[in-house]
Amino acid sequence: MSEPTVIATRPTPGQPRPYDFPQFERATLGNGLRVITAQMPGRPLVTASLILRNGAADDAPAVAGAISLAARALSEGTQRYDAVALVEATERLGAGLHADAGWDAATVSVEVPVARLEPALELLAELAAHPTFPVREVDRLREERLNDLLQARAEPRRRVDEAFIGTIYQPSSPYHQPSGGLAGTVATLDVERLSAAWQRGFDPARMTLILAGDLAGAGGRGAVAIAESLLGGWTASPGAAAIGGPVASGSVIDAVTIRLFDRPGSVQTEIRVGHVGVPRRIDGYAALSVMGAILGGLFNSRLNMKLREEKGYTYGASAGFDPRRGAGPFSARVAVNTEVTVPALVDLLAELDRIRQEPVTPAELAGARDFLVGVFPLRFETPGPVVGALGGIVVHDLPDDELATYRGRIEAVTAGDVQDTAEARIHPDRAAIVMVGDAARITAELETAAIGPVEVVRDEESTETAS
């Protein structure tokens, strides 16, 4: 076999083809409901999302999970359809119709070939405006959610995430629990509570319908006219409430705190390190994005390079902020083989210090900025992500030119900005370190390392108090 010859010189990029985020237009229906349309030629599969600014952060802590379960229950029955008839009608259109609730909004979405947009929107409107929450199906969904929470306890990844937020947030914060609630709150969710949770956000003045795709194919009437006929007659529910105010997101951690949840026999330790982070609407969000990419977002981020590519401790390490209306968590995340738990934790903490103490290198800065700027057109190839990004503007009250100016703001971030934001936003000295792993094999070494006081939480204790 002859020797291979390859070209040693790395090619330089050509001229990028200009790209702009799809133009979008705003309209307001007679009842105040807003409509955003983004025309994307050549994309016959349309995505439409109705956004209600009513999320899990608006659930009272005692009924945490109400809006999440309510969204799920929408498709279990409406005035015109029972659950089976509704799903069959949806499937006949070849449409995917889904409702769910995040922290800041509930969303009813449909993806459908544009030729069948109108009947699909009719189903979406029926779901949003006329759910009946049948008691049998609500009981079943509640039971399924409770079973799912049982399953989550056995899944190290889900268990550590749940334990982490339960450790850092004050109990009165909605962020103290998963957005779907915990067993104690889910058990209280009945038809009245789900209905109330849904109705509190049902006010056309606080709702937005977003459509993207080749909407020109929707037929004679345009998308806005279709929306007017289907949604324009809605009025606010008597149960609509003034929600959307500040979210309690205080921390209960003021010094390094270690909690190890014992899972005997675990071959890996799931580790979360972090604290209460920042809301989505802050100054310097671009610098935060660049810093997050360098610390734990990119493949060649500091955490992944150290813990995976240098040490081989893990399949992958990452870190980042979870920006919400209130201050969502900052966390570094990694699963490592049990034997290296303590050295991995030490390395991870050292990286949290280092990003604050030294400026990032020019190569790191350029790599992160160029990724975030360059990947922008890739993110918006199809209508779904375009609708998602426009939804972010709606939910967080961002300016309409947020996406148009995004790349410029990223390009302007300096090494000084990155270090400043790391110093201001990352606090290793008051981080919670929450782990799920085999305590018998970790605890002694962890205590010797003297990172902070170690609390070991064993299952028997929680089982005993629960039964």
Partner 1 sequence: MVNPSVPFTDERLPNGLRLVIAEDHLAPVVAVNIWYAVGSKNEVPGKTGFAHLFEHVMFQGSRNVKKAEHIALVQAAGGTINGTTWLDRTNYFETLPSNQLELALWLEADRMGTLLDALSQDNLDNQRAVVKNEKRSSYDNRPYGSWSEKLQAHLYPEGHPYHHPTIGSMEDLDAASLEDVSAFFRTYYAPNNAVLAVVGDVDPAQVRAWTQHYFGGIPANPSIPPVGDMTLQPTLGAEVRETVTDQVPLPRIYFGFRAPVMGDRRLDALEVAMQILAGGKGSRLDRRLVRDDQIAQDVVAFVLGFVGGGSIASGWATVKPGVSLERVEAAYLEELDRLTREPVTDDELARAKALIETEELGALSRVEERADRLAMNATLFDDPALIDTMLARYLAVTPEAIRAVAADVFRADNRLVLTYLPANGSTEEAAG
* Residue 144 within binding range of partner 1, rule CB under 8 A: yes
Among 382, 424, 430, 457, binds partner 1 (CB under 8 A): 382
In whole angstroms, how close is the CB of 1 to partner 1 at the nearest point? 5
Stretch that binds partner 1, among 9-17, 53-61, 229-237, 253-261 (CB under 8 A): 9-17
Decide whether 189 or 224 has the Cβ nearer to partner 1.
Answer: 189
Decide whether 207 or 386 has the Cβ nearer to partner 1.
Answer: 386
CA distances from 13 to 48, 167, 253, 410 (A): 36, 47, 48, 20
* Residue 460 within binding range of partner 1, rule CB under 8 A: no
CA distances from 423 to 21, 58, 98 (A): 33, 31, 41
Residues between 279 and 298 with contacts to partner 1, criterion CB under 8 A:
298
**DSSP assigned state of 169:** B
Decide whether 158 or 430 has the Cβ nearer to partner 1.
Answer: 158
CA distances from 449 to 79, 271, 312, 400 (A): 62, 16, 21, 50
Stretch that binds partner 1, among 324-332, 348-356, 373-381, 439-447 (CB under 8 A): 373-381
Residues between 414 and 453 with contacts to partner 1, criterion CB under 8 A:
none
In whole angstroms, how close is the CB of 76 to partner 1 at the nearest point? 9
Decide whether 28 or 188 has the Cβ nearer to partner 1.
Answer: 188
Residues between 66 and 125 with contacts to partner 1, criterion CB under 8 A:
75, 83-84, 87-88, 90-96, 111-113
**Tokens 């194919």 correspond to what residue?**
217
* Residue 8 within binding range of partner 1, rule CB under 8 A: yes
Decide whether 183 or 205 has the Cβ nearer to partner 1.
Answer: 183
Decide whether 33 or 298 has the Cβ nearer to partner 1.
Answer: 298
Phi and psi at residue 47, to the nearest 5°: -115, 135
The rounded Cα 203 to chain-centroid distance in angstroms is 24
> Is the alpha carbon torsion for 383, 231, 241, 77 positive or negative?
negative
As a whole number of angstroms, the distance between CA 201 and CA 278 comes to: 25
Decide whether 232 or 292 has the Cβ nearer to partner 1.
Answer: 292
> Sheet harboring 207-213: ordered strands across?
24-28, 34-39, 207-213, 45-52, 106-113, 96-101
* Residue 464 within binding range of partner 1, rule CB under 8 A: no
- Write out the two tokens for 263: 């899972």
Residues between 254 and 273 with contacts to partner 1, criterion CB under 8 A:
263, 265-268
> Is the alpha carbon torsion for 276, 280, 286, 289 positive or negative?
positive
In whole angstroms, how close is the CB of 137 to partner 1 at the nearest point? 8
Q: Which of 353, 365, 358 is nearest to 290 (CA)?
A: 365
Residues between 315 and 344 with contacts to partner 1, criterion CB under 8 A:
315, 335-337
